Amino acid sequence: MIDLTSALGPSFDAGKAPADALAVNAAILKRLESWDNWAHPPAVIRQMRREGRGAFPAPIPSPRARTITMDGPHGPIDLRIIAPENPKGVYVHIHGGGWVLGSVDQQDQWLERFADRAGMACVSIDYRLAPEHPYPQGPDDCEAAALWIAGEAKRLFGTDRLVIGGESAGAHLAAVTLLRLRDRHGVMPFRAANLHAGCYDLALTPSVRRWGAEKLVLNTRDIEMFVRHFLVQGGDVRNPDISPLHADLKGLPPALFTVGSLDPLVDDTLFMAPRWAAAGNRATLEVYAGGCHVFIGFPGSNTDRCLERIETFMGEACAD
């Protein structure tokens, strides 16, 4: 028997939240009190986010990054690489942004850290974004890139020890990619999955529906709009290729699920991790008290602990 109250209760106790996490949350709420993601076209919002005019600070691109290009089903796909010498493994990374926003160079700070501390060659996929390129184009790009990297990793990096993962929509796309590789290609080249703050049910879980208007990074309306843009050409939210929570999850690699307790998407992780384990896969679930959506994008003790945990997880997955 698993005592869930003992395991999860402290993570949802407001008194257990680190003071620095609560200070970050307060600053985000103040910053976004008049911010409307949907007052401008997505292309304009993307540029505003690049300038730091959203929830997250302006990104600082890594001078170490390089880009290679591969052919994809909808045209060329860029892969952004940050790698150490003699990497221990390859981390195939898929960025977040609700399938609509975000970009391949906006999380260099922790990909650099994974390269330096975990010895991972980080390869981030520049997949196509909705609504200009709606479902299934983004997942198609990720599927094609993951297959290509699996075939070329040994040549490029000297190792074929592979981990896949991402944040928010990136975690969703990582899960979908694993399912596609299993079902469409009969392969499972990845040793592990790092899934942070994912959205796994596009029908929307209770925590999303009940969140409301408070804009702690994002709110209910934002998530509804992201789904609407992603599926602008249609799609059944019960389809496992769209909502991997509904999939048969057998035969998938060990996964680390991390999420903040104050994330509108917290239920997605709370539902997905046990289903992953019930399918016979190893799953580790960690909830960080007071953490907002993708809290690793902000400085603080939760971020330090979570990134260290991810580094350890990836290092163990790529050990001989």
The residues assigned a catalytic role are 168, 263, 293
- Tokens at 149, concatenated: 């990297």
d(CA 213, CA 192): 35
Task: Return the residue matching tokens 């010895």.
Answer: 119
User: In 3D, which of 66, 195, 84, 177 has the Cα closest to residue 127?
Assistant: 177
Query: CB of 243 within 8 A of CB of 237?
Result: yes
Taking CA 64 as the corner, what is the angle to CA 60 and CA 66, rounded to the nearest 5 degrees? 100
**Cα distance from N-terminal residue to C-terminal residue, the chain:** 33
Long-range contacts of 17-22 (CB under 8 A, 24+ apart): 17/261, 17/262, 17/289, 17/290, 18/289, 18/290, 18/300, 18/301, 18/302, 20/299, 20/300, 20/301, 20/302, 21/260, 21/288, 21/289, 21/290, 21/291, 21/292, 21/295, 21/300, 21/301, 21/302, 22/290
- Tokens at 37, concatenated: 């993601």
Bridge partner residues of 73 (DSSP)? 75
Taking CA 277 as the corner, what is the angle to CA 147 and CA 185, rounded to the nearest 5 degrees? 20
